[in-house]
């Protein structure tokens, strides 16, 4: 049975090697040896000043102290020592370290510490100079002024993950002064036990006083209010996975961290008993300092999963925590370590912890999806697909072509990688749909790749939806309906799949289903793109609903130059008998696309029922669209 985590208020020191990637590129073996030696020396300094090193791995170190003065003394003593050691090295492999010191609440479990205090120390370390120490105001206030340190105020700093600004200081030894020696060596754990027995009341007073000045920088965990939520909570557990932070030295690793976040969203979306907010909406919070309460209320969810990823050399460290926004409490906070080859195992471990914490009951289909490995054994192929996926979200022809080349490379590395085939099929579909290139050739290629994706990943609904769309535009209506039904039988639970399926079904005499699917997609993706509103408005129009303009007006507010929305507006207004507004919408169509004609429209839209097609054309004719 896992040990129940405990919480306490401590001084946290976080240290990191500057430019470790460049050191490794210079000489991998020597760099690892030097970094390990560097942190061994630092650990001895920490121990001498009464601290505990909780983590010593790769290029990062986390330690705990009772007193800020001990943490600062240990940090400066080590930096002085490390500068002297580096001065003797002549080969360029000289590890320089940055140090951050904070005071905060941490979660202690399995001899590791996590929580807001550790994250803040990490952020402060990033403000330090190489070879320097940066401390938070709370630590600065508690270091005796008699100590021989000089401070440089950095003012209030906005740091990622914290709502309120943090006042920070750089600290160094005064010129010509000596670092105070450690207190007589003691066993920190035994000392704590003795003090606890005789000073509980004093400790509570100190903590109470400390909270007065700790509160200004502490992240707010004010519970979310169900009454203030934009949407009612679903009737099943609901979760949003916020973009994990890239804690690597290399900003180019951003795509890897984003890809891992997206994969977690995808994995959780496969669970029928869980309501998972789409990537498109959660990534609107990327790089922003937001409150748990705010995110939960805006997205209409109860739980938030957030964390960070550090990928350095051949190591990956993931820190993650699951929060109940309605109480403000942590359900769990854990660290997951592994090598790049273990990335899927790390993702599976996080998913499993979510399932356990939320006490989800997995259906047979859920278990089948989990047991079937839809991924790749090639880390390089996975890396290429992550990069391609990010490029394809730009809707740029140049970016799409780059993605095409990456996907071809991924398939060459792993011919059994189903996701790569499905994405490549989408590329060819978009080559015709978005850029009007070689309709027959591109649709046929897309169809072939989608078939391969289904063969390799039979439980993935996405390639079924792609096939349904391609068949519909090829006017192969029976095949399109069959693939749509196959996708629905797999109970898709992600916004993109549902919306694309809804888009296709409006052409297949299934407008009621289309509307329901797009509405579900919009709830899963509250910050959805405007084309969802285009498809919903068109489904309402095909159903003869009087409120067909409601989603269209919202879409035009989001993107006034989205011509497809004005096409739906023209049809809706014409069907409602409002000729003036229909003609105004028709004028907008021609303003945005002067070559738009009724014949071009009729040749593009793949309505199964020709009477429905002619009715659409007649409504646009009433709006003044030329033949």
Residue pair 417/411 in contact (Cβ under 8 Å)? The answer is yes
CATH architecture designation of domain 226-371:
3-Layer(aba) Sandwich (3.40)
Beta strand 133-136 with 52-57: parallel, antiparallel or unpaired?
A: unpaired
Query: Which two three-digit tokens encode residue 276?
Result: 């998972």
Query: Which two three-digit tokens encode residue 196?
Result: 């606890």
d(CA 528, CA 521): 8
Higher pLDDT, 390 or 586: 586
pLDDT at residue 206 is higher than 80: no
pLDDT at residue 573 is higher than 60: yes
Q: What DSSP string runs through 340-400?
A: GGGHHHHHHHHHHHHHHHTTPPPPHHHHHHHHS--S-S-HHHHHHHHHHHHHHTT--HHHH
Q: Is 554 left (phi over 0), alpha (psi -120 to 50) or beta?
A: alpha
Residue pair 232/225 in contact (Cβ under 8 Å)? The answer is no
Summarised one tens digit per residue, pLDDT across range 86-131 is: 888 888 889 999 999 998 877 766 556 777 788 889 889 989 999 9
Residue pair 567/605 in contact (Cβ under 8 Å)? The answer is no
pLDDT (0 to 100) of residue 365: 75
Length of the chain: 627
pLDDT at residue 203 is higher than 60: no
pLDDT (0 to 100) of residue 96: 92
pLDDT (0 to 100) of residue 479: 96
pLDDT (0 to 100) of residue 46: 93
Higher pLDDT, 114 or 268: 268
Summarised one tens digit per residue, pLDDT across range 288-300 is: 777 888 899 999 9
pLDDT (0 to 100) of residue 445: 96
The mean per-residue pLDDT over the stretch 485-508 comes to 93
Contacts of 235 (CB under 8 A, 6+ apart): none
pLDDT (0 to 100) of residue 143: 87
The mean per-residue pLDDT over the stretch 67-78 comes to 94
Percent of the chain with pLDDT strictly greater than 90: 49
Task: Write down the CATH superfamily of domain 529-627.
Answer: Tetratricopeptide repeat domain (1.25.40.10)
pLDDT at residue 213 is higher than 60: no
Query: Which two three-digit tokens encode residue 52?
Result: 């505990």
d(CA 275, CA 28): 45
Lowest mean pLDDT among 194-208, 221-235, 333-347, 355-369: 194-208
Q: How confident is the model at residue 373 (pLDDT cuts 50, 70, 90)?
A: low
d(CA 393, CA 493): 20
CA distances from 369 to 168, 215, 342 (A): 48, 45, 19
pLDDT (0 to 100) of residue 201: 40
pLDDT (0 to 100) of residue 200: 39
pLDDT at residue 307 is higher than 50: yes
Lowest mean pLDDT among 217-231, 336-350, 488-502, 564-578: 217-231
The mean per-residue pLDDT over the stretch 3-23 comes to 78
| CATH 3.30.70.1230 domain extents, the chain | 6-214
Percent of the chain with pLDDT strictly greater than 70: 90
Which parts of 63-187 fold into alpha helices (H)? 68-87, 116-127, 137-142
Ramachandran angles phi, psi of 312, nearest 5°:
-130, 125
Which of 282-296, 302-316, 360-374, 490-504 ranks highest by mean pLDDT? Answer: 490-504
pTM for the structure as a whole? 0.66
Q: How confident is the model at residue 341 (pLDDT cuts 50, 70, 90)?
A: confident
213 in helix, strand or coil?
Answer: helix
Residue pair 447/469 in contact (Cβ under 8 Å)? The answer is no
Residue 309's nearest CA partner among 356, 259, 269 is: 259
pLDDT at residue 225 is higher than 80: yes
Summarised one tens digit per residue, pLDDT across range 381-398 is: 988 998 898 888 777 889
Summarised one tens digit per residue, pLDDT across range 142-162 is: 888 888 899 998 888 888 777
Residue pair 449/428 in contact (Cβ under 8 Å)? The answer is yes
Summarised one tens digit per residue, pLDDT across range 42-53 is: 999 999 999 998
pLDDT at residue 340 is higher than 90: no
The mean per-residue pLDDT over the stretch 171-176 comes to 88
pLDDT (0 to 100) of residue 141: 85
Q: How confident is the model at residue 411 (pLDDT cuts 50, 70, 90)?
A: very high
Task: Write down the CATH superfamily of domain 6-214.
Answer: Nucleotide cyclase, GGDEF domain (3.30.70.1230)
The mean per-residue pLDDT over the stretch 436-441 comes to 90
d(CA 446, CA 432): 10
pLDDT at residue 247 is higher than 60: yes
Which of 47-56, 157-166, 561-570 ranks highest by mean pLDDT? Answer: 561-570
d(CA 558, CA 522): 14
């Amino acid at each position: 049975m896992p040990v129940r985590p405990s919480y306490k208020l401590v001084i946290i020191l976080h240290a990191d090697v500057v430019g470790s990637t460049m050191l490794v590129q210079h000489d991998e073996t020597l760099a690892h040896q030097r970094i390990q030696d560097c942190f061994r020396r630092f650990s001895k300094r920490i121990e001498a000043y009464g601290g505990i090193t909780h983590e010593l791995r790769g290029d990062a170190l986390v330690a705990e102290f009772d007193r800020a003065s001990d943490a600062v003394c240990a940090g400066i003593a080590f930096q002085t020592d490390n500068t002297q050691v580096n001065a003797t090295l002549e080969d360029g492999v000289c590890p320089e370290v940055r140090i951050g010191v904070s005071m905060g609440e941490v979660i202690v479990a399995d001899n590791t510490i996590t929580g807001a205090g550790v994250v803040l120390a990490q952020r402060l370390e990033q403000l330090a100079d190489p070879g320097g120490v940066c401390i938070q105001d709370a630590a600065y206030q508690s270091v005796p002024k008699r100590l021989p340190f000089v401070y440089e105020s950095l003012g209030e700093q906005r740091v990622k993950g914290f709502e309120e600004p943090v006042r920070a200081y750089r600290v160094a030894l005064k010129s010509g002064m000596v670092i105070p020696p450690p207190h007589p060596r003691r066993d920190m754990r035994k000392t704590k036990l003795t003090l606890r027995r005789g000073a509980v009341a004093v400790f509570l007073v100190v903590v109470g006083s400390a909270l007065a000045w700790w509160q200004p920088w502490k992240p707010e965990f004010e519970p979310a209010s169900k009454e203030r939520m934009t949407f009612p909570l679903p009737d099943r557990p609901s979760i949003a996975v916020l973009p994990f932070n890239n804690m690597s030295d290399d900003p180019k690793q951003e795509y890897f961290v984003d890809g891992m976040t997206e994969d977690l969203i995808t994995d959780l979306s496969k669970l029928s008993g869980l309501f998972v907010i789409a990537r498109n909406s959660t990534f609107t919070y990327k790089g922003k300092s937001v409150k748990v309460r705010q995110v939960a209320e805006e997205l209409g969810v109860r739980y938030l999963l957030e964390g960070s990823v550090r990928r350095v050399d051949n190591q990956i460290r993931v820190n993650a925590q699951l929060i109940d926004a309605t109480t403000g409490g942590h359900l769990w906070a854990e660290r997951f370590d592994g090598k790049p080859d273990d990335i899927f195992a790390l993702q599976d471990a996080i998913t499993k912890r979510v399932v356990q914490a939320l006490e989800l009951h997995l259906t047979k289909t859920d278990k089948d999806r989990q047991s079937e490995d839809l991924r790749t054994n090639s880390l390089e192929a996975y890396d290429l697909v992550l990069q391609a996926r990010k490029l394809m979200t730009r809707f740029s022809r140049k970016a799409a072509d780059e993605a095409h080349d990456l996907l071809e490379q991924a398939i060459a590395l792993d011919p059994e990688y189903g996701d790569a085939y499905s994405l490549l099929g989408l590329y060819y579909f978009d080559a015709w749909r978005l850029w009007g290139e070689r309709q027959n050739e591109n649709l046929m290629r897309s169809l072939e790749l989608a078939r391969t994706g289904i063969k390799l990943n039979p439980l993935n609904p996405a390639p079924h939806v792609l096939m349904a769309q391609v068949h519909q535009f090829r006017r192969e209506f029976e095949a399109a309906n069959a693939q749509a039904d196959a996708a629905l039988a797999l109970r898709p639970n992600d916004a993109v799949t549902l919306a694309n399926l809804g888009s296709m079904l409006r052409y297949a005499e299934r407008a009621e289903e289309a509307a329901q699917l797009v509405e579900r997609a919009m709830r899963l993706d509250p910050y959805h793109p405007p084309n969802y509103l285009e498809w919903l408005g068109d489904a309402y129009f095909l159903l003869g609903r009087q409120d067909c303009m409601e989603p269209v007006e919202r879409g035009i507010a989001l993107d006034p130059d989205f011509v497809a929305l004005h096409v739906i507006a023209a049809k809706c207004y014409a069907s409602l008998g409002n000729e003036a507004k229909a003609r105004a919408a028709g004028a907008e169509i021609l303003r945005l696309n002067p070559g738009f004609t009724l014949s071009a429209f009729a040749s593009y839209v793949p309505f199964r029922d020709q009477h429905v097609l002619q009715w659409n054309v007649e409504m646009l004719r009433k709006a003044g669209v030329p033949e």
